[in-house]
Amino acid sequence: MNLDTLLPNLGEWLRGTGPESDVVVSTRIRLARNLADYPFTGRATAAQKGEIVTRVKEAVGRVELPFKLDYHDVPGMTVLDRQFLVERQLISRELAAVLEGPRGVAFDAKESASVMVNEEDHLRLQVLRSGFALDDAWADIDKLDDALEARLPYAFHSQFGYLTACPTNVGTGLRGSVMLHLPALGITKQIDKVFRALQKINLAVRGGHGEGSRAFGDLYQISNQVTLGKSEQKILGEIKEVILTILQYERQARAVLMKERRQAEQDRVARALGTLGSATMITAEETMELLSVVRLGINLRLIDDVPATAVNQLFIQTQAAHLQKLVGHALDGEERNAARAKYLKTRLRELGSHR
């Protein structure tokens, strides 16, 4: 399979049509699993990792679910393809570049489910959904997990639950994360207060692009830190409750914005579109910041000629690997900034915005 066929697509989770999609970009659940008969990935030999790949590949191929997963080996992939899959959120940076030996990923055509093999754990199952959809994502990943467990002997301890390479994942092995777009809490400077409250109740907050990444474009991932001693339903229920509160805060902040500085906000949105459509050099970070302003403008109905889906797509398509695939060859940093600006200009023009 040539990954380039994915290029014009948009992962289902990015359509921006899911529940509460004015604030919630996407929902992700992942499960960490290991095979009982092998050492964890970090201590397994290349031969053992090869066997794990073979066994998972076979099991994945036999899974009968509404979505079909195709397996791809990572070691044979170009650096660009790996980065591309990272940007699509189908594999982690670690699987792409840090880890060694036999490893890979299986995912479906809609990019809503994936299974990484020989990441930190032997298996990392993931389901991605558009909008706020923890229940649906749980239903899907639970089925996928059952189907794989029927064919693979999971490392499971009657007292602790699923065993994992890192103790922080033991138990359910579950991490639920919700990506939120919180521009109004940013503008009204309430975001830090919200996040301090989250940390007290053991929820982690990260930038939109995974562990350790800075927050760009007002995108934040909120996820559980505790995996042990609670049922999956309880963990997900706790996340859900918190997200609903943050949702309410963000919407209140947006209402205040619209009441107190509608004209200024209108201007900010118009200028963001103007800059995106006219710059001849632009970094990924600035692009995200400006797209964030546009996304808010759409949700506040300050503009109506740019579809939310297009903005979600631009968030991904303007990232380094996507850009290089679109252009068809490797680009250095400066060249990427020029190519990014050109792509944005063309796309915004296509969107028919003769503003």
What is the binding site for its own copies (CB under 8 A)? 263-264, 266-267, 270-271, 273-275, 277-282, 334, 338, 341, 355
Q: 329 with 262: CB under 8 angstroms?
A: no
Inter-residue contact 98 to 76 (CB < 8 Å): no
- Tell me how far apart the alpha carbons of residues 105 and 115 are, in angstroms, rounded to a whole number: 6
Nearer to its own copies, 275 or 309 (CB): 275
Closest approach of its own copies to the CB of residue 274, in Å = 3
| Nearer to its own copies among residue 152 and residue 294 (C-beta) | 294
156: β partners: 162
AA letter at 179: M
Q: From the CB of 273, what's the least distance to its own copies, in Å?
A: 6
Residue 318 Cβ, how far from its own copies at the closest point, in Å? 16
Nearer residue to its own copies within complex by CB, 150 or 264 = 264
Q: What tokens appear for 294 in the block? A: 């546009």
The DSSP output letter for 6 is G
Closest approach of its own copies to the CB of residue 338, in Å: 7
Strands, E, within the chain: which ranges? Answer: 24-33, 70-73, 104-107, 113-117, 123-130, 156-157, 161-162, 174-181, 203-207, 219-224
Say how far apart CA 147 and CA 67 lie, in whole Å. Answer: 12
Minimum CB–partner distance for residue 343 and its own copies (Å) = 15
For residue 79, count other CB atoms closer than 10 A to its CB: 11
Round to whole Å and give the CA distance between 41 and 48.
9
Cβ closer to its own copies: 274 or 307? 274
Determine contact, residues 32/124, Cβ cutoff 8 Å: yes
The Cα 298–Cα 305 span in angstroms is: 9
Query: Please, what is the minimum distance in Å from the beta carbon of residue 335 to its own copies?
Result: 10
Please, are residues 255 and 299 in contact by the beta-carbon 8 Å criterion?
no
Comparison of 252 and 275: residue with beta carbon closer to its own copies: 275
Please state the closest distance from residue 354 (CB atom) to its own copies, in A.
8
Nearer CB in complex with its own copies: 159/280? 280
Rounded to the nearest whole angstrom, what is the least distance from the CB of residue 271 to its own copies in the complex?
5
Would you say 196 or 349 has its CB closer to its own copies? 349
* Local structure of 330: helix, strand or coil: coil
> Between residues 196 and 261, which has the closer beta carbon with respect to its own copies?
261
Distance CA 175, CA 195 (A): 18
